[in-house]
């Protein structure tokens, strides 16, 4: 159903309840419904968005704890959970946006059976036993970009990594990676990757959850392996 600028509609939000330890539960969040008028105030340079797709990301678990790493801002109890997504502009007082625009906003043991020639480049998002296994199978002068360690986020005492000496023996370069450092390259990234997707050279898998009500379960499912592919919550398809 199309939204009409100026009408008053219901507005659902997923609210963060309070800080916790251990694995997240659906009860750590709750859904509220209020009303909102689909109109940017006269003279404002604000932008009114309709959410279409929301992203569920492991980093959201980190933001649910009282103390967060430097450079991060944790969620506020009693306030909506925020994250990345795709939205459509419904109304705008900003010169750079017009109605109709789409905007972006803000385990397993690995062994030499699967990597007979070793691993050249590894993008780390798991940590724990997986990282330990990867280190043993890295090639000399291999590279590891560390973006996250989802296996560790819910542990009171993080697991130690046992095979770090592989960094020395194999002269492996291992460094942290945060997307914030590369936002300025995002347009170039899209110019490079989108043609590959259209040509079928890059394939991706999405796990689609329907409706904001399914958001808490979708987020919690990230930490139990429930999703297959990138977890996305569909709010509306147009």
Residue 160: CATH number of its domain: 3.40.50.720
Per-residue pLDDT tens over the stretch 183-223:
899 999 999 999 999 999 999 899 999 999 999 999 999 98
The verdict on 89 and 123 lying in the same domain is: no
In this structure, what CATH number is given to the domain that contains residue 52? 3.90.180.10
The verdict on 133 and 79 lying in the same domain is: no
Per-residue pLDDT tens over the stretch 155-193:
888 888 999 999 999 999 999 999 889 989 999 999 999
Mean pLDDT score of the chain = 89
Question: In this structure, is residue 1 part of a structural domain?
Answer: no
- Give the pLDDT score at 107: 30
Quick one: average pLDDT of 108-123? 71
The verdict on 22 and 78 lying in the same domain is: yes
Taken in order 177, 180, 184, 186, is the CA torsion positive or negative? Answer: positive
- Give the pLDDT score at 110: 45
The verdict on 101 and 54 lying in the same domain is: yes
Question: In this structure, is residue 218 part of a structural domain?
Answer: yes
C-alpha 61/C-alpha 108 separation (Å) is 21
The verdict on 102 and 125 lying in the same domain is: no
Parent domain of 91: 8-106+204-234
C-alpha 188/C-alpha 183 separation (Å) is 10
Q: Name the pTM for this structure.
A: 0.73
The verdict on 102 and 14 lying in the same domain is: yes
Q: pLDDT band for position 96 (50/70/90)?
A: confident
How many domains, the chain? 2
Please state, for a pLDDT cut of 70, what percent of the chain lies above it: 95
Which tokens is 72 given?
Answer: 């991060």
Q: What are the Cα distances from residue 233, in Å, to 52, 139, 187, 210?
A: 8, 38, 24, 6
Say yes or no to pLDDT of 24 above 50: yes
The verdict on 138 and 218 lying in the same domain is: no
C-alpha 229/C-alpha 204 separation (Å) is 8
The verdict on 140 and 230 lying in the same domain is: no
The verdict on 135 and 56 lying in the same domain is: no
C-alpha 6/C-alpha 150 separation (Å) is 43
Q: By CB neighbour count within 10 A (0-12 exposed, 13-18 middle, 19+ buried), where does 68 fall?
A: middle
Please state, for a pLDDT cut of 90, what percent of the chain lies above it: 60
The verdict on 161 and 140 lying in the same domain is: yes
Question: In this structure, is residue 190 part of a structural domain?
Answer: no
Which tokens is 93 given?
Answer: 């007082």
The verdict on 167 and 223 lying in the same domain is: no
């Amino acid at each position: 159903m199309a939204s009409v600028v100026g009408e008053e509609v219901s507005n659902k939000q997923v609210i963060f309840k309070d800080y916790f330890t251990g694995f997240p539960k659906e009860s750590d969040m709750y859904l509220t419904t209020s009303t909102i008028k689909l109109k940017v105030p006269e003279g404002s340079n604000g932008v009114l968005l309709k959410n279409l797709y929301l992203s569920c990301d492991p980093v959201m678990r980190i933001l649910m704890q009282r103390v967060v790493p430097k450079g991060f801002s944790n969620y506020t109890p009693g306030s909506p959970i925020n994250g990345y997504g795709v939205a459509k502009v419904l109304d705008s007082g900003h010169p750079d946006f017009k109605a109709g625009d789409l905007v972006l906003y803000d385990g397993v043991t690995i062994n030499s059976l699967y990597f007979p020639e070793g691993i050249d480049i590894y993008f780390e998002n798991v940590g724990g036993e997986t990282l330990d296994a990867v280190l043993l199978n890295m090639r000399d002068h291999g590279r590891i970009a560390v973006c996250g360690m989802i296996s560790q986020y819910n542990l009171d005492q993080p697991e130690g990594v046992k095979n770090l000496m592989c960094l020395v023996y194999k002269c492996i370069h291992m460094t942290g990676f945060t997307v914030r450092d590369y936002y300025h390259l995002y347009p170039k990234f899209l110019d490079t990757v989108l043609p590959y997707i259209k040509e079928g050279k890059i394939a991706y898998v999405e796990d689609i959850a329907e409706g904001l009500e399914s958001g808490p379960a979708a987020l919690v499912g990230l930490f139990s392996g429930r999703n297959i592919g990138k977890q996305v919550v569909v709010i509306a398809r147009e």
